[in-house]
């Protein structure tokens, strides 16, 4: 019965029931021991396997994070967007309330959303944000693709240096780097002074508070987000494909257009969305460098919250922005899934 | 006479034949490493020429120089009489089948095959017709819409072949064409390749490390070692008459003995080998200094096992059976000679009677015909 003769353990089979023929019980605790032994699982390893909680535990961590810091705030904001502004702390009406005859009442106002459509400020801010984000994304792509391509084709040691240089600016605060651009772009800033000293221009060019300054700021800040996914895509390309194309009579440029470019579409999509999505809601760069007569939606949002203290309208603006961005995010997801499916 | 000469199946024997590919004193260096060292080759139209060698012997580098992916450090490559120096791959009348197949993953089978034709000024209808035609030849007509990742290894291999053949190249380069296929499929594909080559009359240059592949496919084999061509010949020549110890050892399995030349006459040589019971007598002469050290190679299938002591005074040895491996069609015996040396002997299983077979630890006599051993000093 014991493990010594090779039989398998069963619940209760391990009990060292050593009974000599003469005496009934050698030890008084023996029945108790046997009782507990019967409750013991057959094998601890099997028990752990059957009751393994590792998997849900591992997923529970990010899930908790998302629920606490994304879903709960989102529900709160979503709720506030159906509320009404009041002079109180917090400055909005509770959605749930008791009527005079003690009936629980849920009051939802759609007026905030209606307001977004009636006041042209919002529509124009949204459109302007989309335009700025789209144009900046195009510039990032035009600038980032050759850079990523060059890095992917470089030797391993150089590649690491280039990647380091791409990531290096992150060591300085984002805000500081945008401020630095003010010093470069302003009327008596570095660029104007140098150009005037060289005699290229006689009067300072107005670069601050223009779309140009916003594009520079966004392209400068978000370029790494374009380069890195593009690089990771291009680096994986099989170079024999280009050799095969050349072998089949394709000149290098044509081979690039027909092989490299189509195969890098997932990288282009990933990089573009990583630039486009945050650029739509960008607040700091347009506030510091951008126009004052045309606001981006991030600025409108912050003004509604902090200047007007109209939380419900601000929430509605935020929700509307999120809905606008859901479409590109879904495109991103689709391409990511397709990338994974190919592996 | 002229008629027979033009149709001779062995153009390399014809001094007037024009070589289709001439490789003249080609070397390729990568830094200080010499990948290909002073190689000269002539390959004729319609041949299947195999470059055979172990990994790192320079065979792939030589192939890539024919395709135009590498430029020779020295020497010249002529294809159809034209010097290929400085001519990029996309302008050469050559197509290559890559070892990894290098199929374009984002294109369908038909798209892959059509790619080469689209680079030329050919009408769409003509392209479609030729793609369909070649896909029929490689029996992939039904798979035209599939993407490469939806195909099996053998199917991908055939797509790669079709893609390379659809441009009707005069010369097709194949880099380890059957490397990724399993044994059954390899054998099948080898004969398919031969059929296609015959049908289209293309010249093949095949790189392989697999001697069996080289043997079945090729009209001639060039054996490479350390960047040099050590022997060029028909499969039979390199197997039966290896020019050097390396080739004898590399091609097939062989028993190599060290010995000393004791007799060197016009019609025979006699070699004394310490490891064998009797001297080795070979029925052809060789020219070497007297008492030269040499090697003797005897193929396992050319050795006969017997229970009786041979009457002859040479070409036999005595030993005990050390190991037996039954392979079905034949049996491999490892015989331990009295000198302690182990010798490989294979015997075809001509009957099904087990009692005729030798058993473990049986003492046996090994003998061979005087025409079987190969002697050399190189």
Number of H helices, E strands in chain A: 17, 2
Instruction: Extract the tokens encoding A278.
Output: 């945050």
Alpha-carbon Rg for chain A in angstroms: 32
Structure tokens at B299: 């193929």
| pLDDT at A339 (0 to 100) | 63
User: Quick check: helix, strand or coil at residue B315?
Assistant: coil
pLDDT band for position B67 (cuts 50, 70, 90):
very high
In whole angstroms, what is the distance from residue B60 CA to residue B175 CA?
7
DSSP letter for each residue of A201-229: -SS----TTSHHHHHHHHHHHHHHHHHHH
Six token digits for residue A247: 């072998």
Q: How many CB atoms lie within 10 A of CB B357?
A: 15
List, as one string, the DSSP characters of B107-155.
Answer: S-HHHHHHHHHHTSS--HHHHHHHHHHHHHHTT-GGGTT--GGGS-HHH
B86: closest CA among B102, B100, B97, B70?
B70
For residue A328, the SS3 value is: helix
User: pLDDT tens, B345-368?
Assistant: 998 888 887 767 788 888 999 999
Inter-chain CB proximity B100 and A240 less than 8 Å = yes
Residue of chain A whose Cα is closest to the Cα of B104: A241
Burial string for A208-238 (b: 16+ CB within 10 Å, else e) reads bbebebbbbbbbbbbbbbbbbbbbebbeebb
Q: What pLDDT does residue A59 have?
A: 87
In the prediction, which pLDDT does A324 show? Answer: 84
Confidence band of A159 (pLDDT split at 50, 70, 90): very high
Q: How far apart are CA A170 and CA A174, in angstroms?
A: 7
Question: Among A241, A248, A259, whose Cβ lies nearest the Cβ of B116?
Answer: A248
pLDDT at A335 over 80: no
**Residue A137 CB coordination number (10 Å):** 25
Closest Cβ–Cβ partner in A240, A249, A250 for B98: A240
Nearest CA in chain A to B160: A244
State chain A's mean pLDDT as an integer: 85
Q: Which residues of chain B lie closer than 8 angstroms to A244, CB-CB?
A: 96, 98, 102-104, 163
Q: What integer is the mean pLDDT of A224-228?
A: 95
What is the per-residue pLDDT for A24? 52
Average pLDDT over residues B303-307: 90
| Greater model confidence, A7 or A113 | A113
| Structural domain boundaries in chain A | 119-309
State residue A26's pLDDT score: 60
Poorest-confidence range of A88-97, A108-117, A179-188, A239-248?
A88-97
Confidence of residue B251 (pLDDT cuts 50, 70, 90): confident
pLDDT of residue B107: 94
Q: Measured between CB atoms, does A256 come within 8 Å of chain B? A: no
Measure the CA–CA gap between A305 and A320, rounded to whole angstroms: 15
Closest A-chain CA to B100? A240
Answer yes or no: is pLDDT of A228 > 90.
yes
Q: How far is it, in rounded angstroms, from Cα A204 to Cα A195?
A: 8
Q: Which range is least confidently modeled, A249-258, B181-190, B314-323?
A: B181-190
Residues of B in contact with A251 (CB under 8 A): 90
**Residue contact A248–B149, C-beta within 8 A:** no
- Note the pLDDT of residue A342: 57
**Checking DSSP bridges between strand B363-368 and strand B303-306, what pairing results, if any?**
antiparallel
* Position with higher pLDDT, B3 vs B269: B269
Say yes or no: domain A119-309 is CATH 3.40.50.300: no
Q: How much is the mean pLDDT over chain B?
A: 87
Chain A contact present for B279, CB below 8 A: no
- Among B residues 141-160, those touching chain A with beta carbons less than 8 Å apart: 149
Residue position matching structure tokens 């030329």: B120
d(CA B200, CA B166): 10
Dist CA B88 CA A248 (whole Å): 11
pLDDT of residue A25: 53
Pairing state between β B94-97 and A104-106: unpaired
Rounded to an integer, the average pLDDT of A212-231 is 95
Q: Tell me, what's the pLDDT at A4?
A: 43
A236: contact with B, CB 8 A cutoff = no
* pLDDT for the residue numbered B39: 93
Extract the tokens encoding B133.
């035609």
Mean pLDDT of B138-156: 90
State the pairing for strand pair B228-233/B255-264.
Answer: unpaired
- pLDDT greater than 90 at residue B233: yes
Q: Which residue of B has its CA nearest to A263?
A: B106
> What pLDDT, on a 0 to 100 scale, did the predictor assign at position B10?
79
pLDDT > 70? residue B336: yes
What is chain A's length? 343
**CA distance linking residue B88 with residue B175, whole number of Å:** 19
Task: Choose the mutation target among B69, B87, B100, B106 for the interface with A, i.e. most A CBs under 10 Å.
Answer: B106
Give me the residue from B67, B98, B106 closest to A262, CB to CB: B106
Rounded to an integer, what distance in angstroms lies between the CA atom of residue B20 and that of residue B338?
Answer: 53
Q: Which two tokens stand for residue B365?
A: 């006599």
CA atoms within 13 A on the CB side of B71: 7
pLDDT at A96 > cutoff 50:
yes
- Between B292 and A17, the more confident residue is B292
How confident is the model over A187-216, as a mean pLDDT?
91
| Chain B touched by A322 (CB under 8 Å) | no
More confident residue, B80 or A146: A146
More confident residue, A41 or A247: A247
Task: Please give the residue that has the higher pLDDT: either B25 or B197.
Answer: B25
Give the lowest-confidence range in A24-28, A48-52, A218-222, B232-236.
A24-28
Contact in structure between B39 and B49 (CB atoms under 8 Å): no
**Contact list, A237 vs chain B (CB under 8 Å):** none
pLDDT at residue A341 above 70?
no
Question: With an 8 Å Cβ cutoff, is B171 touching chain A?
Answer: no
> According to the model, what pLDDT value does residue B145 have?
93
Interface test with B, best of A155, A248, A335 (most B CBs within 10 A): A248
pLDDT of residue B19: 87
Region B111-126: mean pLDDT is 93
A-chain residues within 8 Å CB-CB of B71? none
Residue B210 has pLDDT above 90, yes or no: no
Q: Which of A37-41, B96-100, B148-152 has the lowest mean pLDDT?
A: A37-41
| B229 in reach of chain A (CB within 8 A) | no
Mean pLDDT (whole number) for A131-143: 96
Query: Tens digits of per-residue pLDDT, A260-304?
Result: 999 999 899 989 989 999 999 899 999 999 998 888 999 999 999
More confident: A325 or B221: B221
Q: Residue B110: which pLDDT band, with cuts at 50, 70 and 90?
A: very high
């Amino acid at each position: 019965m014991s493990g010594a003769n090779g039989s398998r353990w069963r619940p209760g089979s391990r009990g060292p029931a050593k009974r000599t023929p003469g005496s009934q019980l050698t030890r008084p605790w023996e029945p108790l021991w046997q009782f507990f032994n019967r409750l013991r699982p057959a094998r601890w390893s099997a028990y752990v396997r059957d009751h393994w909680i590792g998997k849900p535990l591992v997923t529970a961590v990010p899930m908790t994070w998302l629920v606490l810091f994304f879903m709960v705030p989102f529900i709160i904001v979503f709720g506030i967007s159906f509320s009404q502004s009041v002079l109180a702390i917090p400055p909005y009406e509770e959605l749930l309330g008791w009527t005079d005859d003690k009936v629980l009442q849920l009051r939802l106002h759609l007026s905030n959303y209606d307001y977004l459509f009636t006041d042209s400020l919002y529509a124009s801010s949204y459109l302007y944000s989309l335009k700025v984000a789209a144009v900046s994304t195009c510039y990032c792509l035009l600038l980032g693709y050759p850079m990523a391509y060059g890095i992917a084709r470089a030797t391993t040691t150089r590649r690491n240096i280039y990647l380091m240089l791409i990531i290096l600016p992150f060591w300085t605060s984002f805000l500081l780097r945008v401020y630095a651009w003010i010093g470069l772009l302003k009327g008596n800033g570095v660029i104007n002074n140098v150009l005037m000293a060289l005699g290229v221009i006689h009067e300072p060019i107005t670069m601050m508070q223009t779309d140009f300054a916003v594009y520079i700021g966004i392209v400068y800040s978000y370029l790494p987000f374009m380069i890195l996914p593009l690089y990771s895509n291009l680096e994986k390309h099989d170079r024999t494909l280009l050799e095969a194309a050349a072998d089949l009579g394709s000149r290098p440029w044509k081979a690039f257009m027909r092989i490299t470019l189509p195969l890098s579409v997932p990288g282009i999509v990933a990089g573009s969305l990583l630039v486009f999505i945050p650029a739509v809601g960008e607040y700091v760069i347009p506030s510091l460098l951008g126009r004052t007569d045309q606001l981006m939606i991030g600025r409108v949002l912050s003004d509604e919250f902090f200047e007007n203290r109209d939380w419900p309208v601000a929430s509605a603006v935020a929700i509307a922005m999120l809905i606008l961005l859901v479409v590109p995010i879904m495109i991103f997801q689709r391409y990511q899934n397709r990338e994974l499916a190919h592996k | 006479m002229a008629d027979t000469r033009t149709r001779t199946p062995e153009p390399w024997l014809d001094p007037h034949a024009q070589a289709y590919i001439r490789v003249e004193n080609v070397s390729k260096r990568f830094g200080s490493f010499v990948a290909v060292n002073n190689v000269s080759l002539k390959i004729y139209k319609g041949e299947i020429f195999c470059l055979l060698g172990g990994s790192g012997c320079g065979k792939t580098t030589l192939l890539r120089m024919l395709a135009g992916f590498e430029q020779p450090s020295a020497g010249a490559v002529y294809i159809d009489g034209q010097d290929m120096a400085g001519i990029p791959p996309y302008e050469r009348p050559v197509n290559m089948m890559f070892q990894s197949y290098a199929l374009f993953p984002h294109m369908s089978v038909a798209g892959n095959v059509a790619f080469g034709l689209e680079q030329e000024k050919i009408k769409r209808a003509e392209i479609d017709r030729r793609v369909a035609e070649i896909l029929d030849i490689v029996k992939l007509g039904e798979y035209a819409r599939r993407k490469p990742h939806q195909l099996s290894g053998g199917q991908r291999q055939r797509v790669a072949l079709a893609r390379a053949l659809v441009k009707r190249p005069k010369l097709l380069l194949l880099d380890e064409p059957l490397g990724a296929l399993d044994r059954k499929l390899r054998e099948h594909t080898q004969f398919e390749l031969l059929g296609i080559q015959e049908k289209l009359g293309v010249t093949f240059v095949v790189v392989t490390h697999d001697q069996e592949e080289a043997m079945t496919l090729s009209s001639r084999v060039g054996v490479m070692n350390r960047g040099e061509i050590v022997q060029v010949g028909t499969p039979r020549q390199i197997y039966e008459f290896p020019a050097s110890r390396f080739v004898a050892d590399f091609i097939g399995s062989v028993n190599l003995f060290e010995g000393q030349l004791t007799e060197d006459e016009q019609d025979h040589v006699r070699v004394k080998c310490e490891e064998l019971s009797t001297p080795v007598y070979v029925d052809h002469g060789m020219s070497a200094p007297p008492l030269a050290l040499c090697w003797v190679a005897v193929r396992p299938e050319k050795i006969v096992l017997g229970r009786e002591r041979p009457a002859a005074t040479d070409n036999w040895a005595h030993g005990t059976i050390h190991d037996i491996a039954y392979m079905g069609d034949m049996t491999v015996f490892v015989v331990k000679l009295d000198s302690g040396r182990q010798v490989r002997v294979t015997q075809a299983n001509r009957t099904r009677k087990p009692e005729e077979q030798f058993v473990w630890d049986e003492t046996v006599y090994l003998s061979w015909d005087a025409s079987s051993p190969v002697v050399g000093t190189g």
